[in-house]
Amino acid sequence: MVGRRMPNRRKPSGFIFPFPLAVVLALAAVLATGYLVLCNRCEALAEDIRQLERREAEVQRQVVNEEFKWSNMTSLRSIEQALARFDLPLRWPSDRQVIHLSRPLRVAELTAAPSGGPQVARRAHAAEGHD
């Protein structure tokens, strides 16, 4: 029996890159690119947060300033000066004009009252036996 002849295989010429190493390097490149994208996005979000915090501090200063101006405008002296400037005579109500409630009124009681105003409230107050 004559021995079989082996086919003449060509030996590769040049450098052959191993496939598993190529897969590992491609995966590493994808992960590195993903990391850089996420890092860039985090930096952008951090800058947005810093800008919003600066804006919040600015708005908070404006709120404090407006609260200070409002408290000055609503002080008794300031109101009296405004009344004098616009020549509006204003007097404190007499004791007969002040209504003292022993309990808080419900909204239904306030909206159901006719346009009689204080007289209706005074009558209701008296009807409860507080007068």
Residue 120 in this model has a pLDDT that exceeds 70:
no
Residues of the chain above pLDDT 90, percent: 51
Tokens standing for residue 82:
């405004």
List of residues 6+ apart from 109 with CB closer than 8 A = 124
Domain boundaries, the chain: 18-90, 93-131
Give the model's pLDDT for residue 131: 46
Report the alpha-carbon distance of residue 125 to residue 21 in Å, rounded. 93
Residue 81 in this model has a pLDDT that exceeds 50:
yes
Residue 85 in this model has a pLDDT that exceeds 50:
yes
75 in Cβ contact with 82 (< 8 Å): no
The whole-chain average pLDDT of the chain stands at 83
Give the model's pLDDT for residue 37: 97
Report the alpha-carbon distance of residue 50 to residue 43 in Å, rounded. 11
Per residue in 23-68, pLDDT (tens digit) is 999 999 999 999 999 999 999 999 999 999 999 999 999 999 999 9
